[in-house]
Structure 1
Amino acid sequence: MLEDNLKQQLQAYLERLTRPVAIVASADDSEASREMLALLQDIVTLSPLLSLSQDDSSPARKPSFALSSPGQAIQLRFAGIPMGHEFTSLVLALLQVGGYPPKVEEAVLEQIRALDGEYRFETYISLSCQNCPEVVQALNLMAVVNPKISHTMVDGALFQEEVERLQILSVPQIFLNGEPFGAGRMGVEEILAKLDTGASARDAEKMKAKDIFDVLVVGGGPAGAAAAIYAARKGIRTGVAAERFGGQVLDTMGIENFISVQETEGPKLAAALEQHVRHYEVDIMNRQRAQKLQAAADGTLEVQFESGGTLKAKSVVLATGARWRQMNVPGEEQYRTRGVAYCPHCDGPLFKGKRVAVIGGGNSGVEAAIDLAGIVSHVTLIEFDAQLRADAVLQNKLRSLPNVEIIVSAQTTEVTGDGQKVNGLKYKERVSGEIRHLTLEGIFVQIGLLPNTEWLKDTIKLSPRGEIEIDARGATSLPGVFAAGDCTTVPYKQIVIAMGEGSKAALSAFDHLIRSSAPAVAKAA
């Protein structure tokens, strides 16, 4: 099941186990069960602290397996075969159940231990989803730390009947005690914030008590990370406040144009960015959405957050990035996660054998259609312009696929559904004006990005597209405030460009601090 080089790597990791790990499998006569057992048999040969037994009479899902340790009340299960993106989740679970300490701050661990009540979590995932492992790993860790928490990862592709019954059309989907709890990428801190309702207020009070920052970076994507590193290396007090560290990169699958790195994935790059920032004395504040920016009479700046917290700084770097642009048509919001999706890598496997549409004929739209064509029964790509805008090589590949239809000069006007999930869309032929309806079960929106700048409209100058207007040094219209990355007017929204812009903005902020704090020189008499 496992290749020799992967076995060697895994064996090296398993040397960190400090206590036994018991693996109990539940299987039937399906091919998936045979694959799961073959995987587990390979794994248990790699450490004397691992054991494998089988309990086919268990009412648990089949195929699935539980991880536990003698004397420990750990309730952790994988329903499916955790390969692909979830193999890392399996490795971390083995290590943590086996006594290896998680890389989480002690304050967070104490917050997990303090949770009281019964928390039975189930997370529905797809093995191609790059957002799912963070949720799985967070809840696995919580199940290891607190015996009142249980967690089961469920591969939606193997348990289609459940997926259909629960009407799951996007992943990750989290259920708590049988009821919907959350959707999309969530880390330990985000999950704790929903369970521990007083956490946000406590965080807000801590923020208010912080000393003034020399440089405060708002946003934790590539631009924000680069700005924080460059500022911290100057030896000045630096803070980062972000909704989620990594930003839009977390939702990016393959990255093949990051110079010097031939190929990587968004979550891996985001983790490396955070690790690099934490190498310095940077105060990172996660789960913080900025709400208002204002300047005081003394020249200092204050950023207010939706949590109620406020931070003060001598200079600010805005790096709030961008998000997926929505179609803004009737039905889109109603059927979001119920057939309307924005990540083909994450949600594509849930539409296996179904008819879907991709909205957008740029590179991202055509790439999405190509990926989906290998999973679904039919793909219709809809483009507003009279021709596709993607690179020629991508267009040629798309046109070679037998189960793809391309419609140009078409304007999507409505997402239709049966009240529970998508059943189609309406579009207008821009040449004839005729309205047509497509019968579909999924719609993937790929029409570009929208800058996260709405909260700045009355504070600094924005372009007609909502981007922060900056000069060659990254300065905005408000003294002491600089900006970088996808939220600005800089052309070409690329990771490597955002990093350069973030570095430049931090250097400009440092220059501003030097000049604004320099003592006046008396004129010669």
Structure 2
Amino acid sequence: MLDDSLKTQLQAYLQRVNRPFELVASLDDSASARELEQLLVTIGGLSDQISVRLDGSDARKPSFSLRRRDAGTGAEPQSLTFAAIPLGHEFTSLVLALLWTGGHAPKVEPELIEQIRALDGDYRFEVYMSLSCHNCPDVVQALSLMAVLNPRVQTVVIDGGLFQHEVKARDIMAVPSVYLNGELFGAGRMSLEQIVAKLDTGAAARDAAKLDAKDAFDVLLVGGGPAGSAAAVYAARKGIRTGMAVERMGGQTNDTMAIENYISVLETDGPRFAAALEAQVRHYGVDVMTQQRAVELIPATTPGGLIEVRLENGARLQSRSVILSTGARWRNVNVPGEQEYKNKGVAYCPHCDGPLFKGKRTAVIGGGNSGVEAAIDLAGIVSHVTLIEYGDQLKADAVLVAKLKSLPNVTIHTNAQTTEITGDGSKVNGLKYRDRVSGLEHQVELEGIFVQIGLVPNTEWLKGTVELSRFGEIVVDAKGHTNVPGVFAAGDCTTVPYKQIVIAAGEGAKAALSAFEHLIRQPAAAADTAVVRVEQPAALA
């Protein structure tokens, strides 16, 4: 199951385990149970700190729990269970669970660790995931760590592909889906900070107070995707006080399955790319404020004065310059039924949620590269794919269109306008579209719909403050200036054409250089509480 190279790597990681624990398997006579037994026995053979038992009595089979007791305390063992064979995207989750259970310290801020340990209450989490979902590991790892740190937190990680009967019983049509004490807690990507904040109701107020107390920045980034990250690195290398207010580091790259066109990086995936962005930003000492949504931009009242950014939690950040890099999000079809059946058959990530529709009928709305790639991907999993394209022809690259048309279980409708998504009240059962040539209405019976019709910029909060195009994009000049003095913008939220990672990164660097140029031309008296400090060693200039 694990090749020699992977075994060698895993054995090297497991040398960091300094506290003994056991893997307790609950097995049946299925092929999956035999695979899991083989995996666990292999792991047990790589570390003398890990023992394996095959006499577990968990109702979910196959599954295994990671159990330890704090020596001499008599405390109950931690409760972390995998009802899964955690390979694929979840192999990293397995490795981290082994390390954390074995006493290796997590790379998490000490304040957040203490916040988790101080949670008051009993929490039983069940997280449904699929091994092909690249959004799932963040949630799996967050809930696993909480179970390791707090004995009152129980976490069960469930592979929806292995436990289809549970997925069907709970009408789960999107992963990750998280249940807390039997009730739906959340669906989709969630960070550790988001989960803890949702449980710790006083966290937002405490966080706001800390942010309010911060000194003014020289450059404040709003958004942490490729544009914001590049801007932060370039600004910090100038030796000036740089801050980032972000909802999630990496932005939409987290939702990208494969990245093969970023120059000098032959191939990577979105989550790995996002992690690299964050690592480089933090390397330069940028003050990264995560899980922060901006809701208002308040321009300076005097030339060279401080600009304010108000956050959703009520905090206010001040800066001598601001770079907006808020990116974009998936565009909705905006037809009846879409919102009602979101995560109940309406999905936006075929890589994440496609396996939940194995053997079922699905549709893809959108005939660009994303839509055609989604249809090709799904065709290998589902029984049939219907692709709906509004225009008179598919807009995807010719090689993708040719591949799609070669598949026997795909039907393509062009000149088709989606008019409604239908359901039975609990889940999707069909889609209606109008033939734009004949005017006739058609109904397609299906169980899943994947929306792939492009992006919309995250700029609604800026209306009336900075100039926006008719598409909602921030209007910028060749150097990233907006119409507001001291405010710059970069990336997918701007009018710069071609929404590509490499272009966003370049525009972010350009915006940072423009912001620095703006700062050094301001009168010294206008610096107020912040000053430009060129302190970076010459070797890094």
- If the length of structure 2 is used for normalisation, what is the TM-score? 0.95
1:466 counterpart = 2:465: no
- Pairing of 1:21-420 with structure 2 (within 5 A): 21-56=21-56, 58-71=57-70, 73-298=77-302, 299-420=305-426
Report if the CA contact (8 A) 2:69-2:78 is conserved.
Answer: no
Aligned partners of 2:217 and 2:69: how far apart in 1? Answer: 48
> 1:4-51 CA distances to partner (integer Å, 9 max, x unpaired)?
000000011001010112000000000110111111111111111111
Distance 1:302 1:484 in 2: 18
Q: Does 2:483 match 1:477?
A: yes
Q: Which amino acid aligns with 1:326?
A: N
1:340 & 1:479 partners in 2: Cα distance?
Answer: 42
Q: Which runs of 5+ in 1 are unaligned?
A: 521-525
CA-CA distance at 1:210 after TM superposition: 0.9
Using the alignment, how far apart are the partners of 2:193 and 2:525 within structure 1? 44
Q: Which amino acid aligns with 1:131?
A: N
Secondary structure in structure 2 of the residue aligned to 1:345: helix
Cα shift at 1:518: 5.3
CA distance in 1, matches of 2:437, 2:47: 67
Do structure 1's residue 512 and structure 2's residue 518 form an aligned pair? Answer: yes
The match for 1:15 is: 15
Q: CA deviation at 1:105?
A: 0.7
> Could you tell me how far 1:66 is from its partner in structure 2?
0.3
- The answer as to 2:431 corresponding to 1:432 is no
User: In the aligned structure 1, how far is the partner of 2:525 from the partner of 2:107?
Assistant: 45
Post-superposition offset of 1:519: 7.6
Q: What is the alpha-carbon distance in structure 1 between the residues aligned to residue 477 and residue 359 of structure 2?
A: 50
* Cα deviation digits, residues 488-524 of structure 1 (max 9, x gap): 011110111111111110110000000113589xxxx
Match of 1:523 in 2: none
CA contact (8 A) 2:479 2:511 kept: yes
CA distance in 1, matches of 2:105, 2:242: 29
1:451 paired with 2:457, answer yes
1:257 aligned counterpart, secondary structure? coil
Q: Structure 2: where are the runs of 5+ without partners? A: 527-541
Q: What amino acid is aligned across from residue 193 of structure 2 in structure 1?
A: E
Task: Judge conservation of contact 1:143–1:150 (CA < 8 Å) in 2.
Answer: yes
* 1:399-452: CA deviation from partner (whole Å, max 9, x where unpaired): 111000000000000000000000001000000111111001000000000000
Query: What is the RMSD of the two structures over their aligned residues, measured on CA atoms?
Result: 1.0
SS at match of 1:281: coil
Q: SS of the residue aligned with 2:521?
A: helix
The amino acid that maps onto 2:12 is A
Task: Find the residue that maps to 2:426 and give its secondary structure.
Answer: coil
1:70 CA displacement: 3.5
Q: Is the 8 A contact 1:22 1:70 kept in 2?
A: no
Deviations 1:166-219 (A, max 9, x none): 000000000111111011111110001100011111111111111111000000
Deviations 1:251-290 (A, max 9, x none): 1101111111111000001011111111122111111111
User: Within 2, Cα distance between the matches of 1:435 and 1:262?
Assistant: 46
User: Residue 467 of structure 1 aligns to a residue in which SS?
Assistant: coil
How far apart, CA to CA, are the structure 2 residues paired with 1:205 and 1:458? 28
When normalised by structure 1's length, the TM-score is 0.98
May I ask how many residue pairs the two structures share in their alignment? Answer: 519
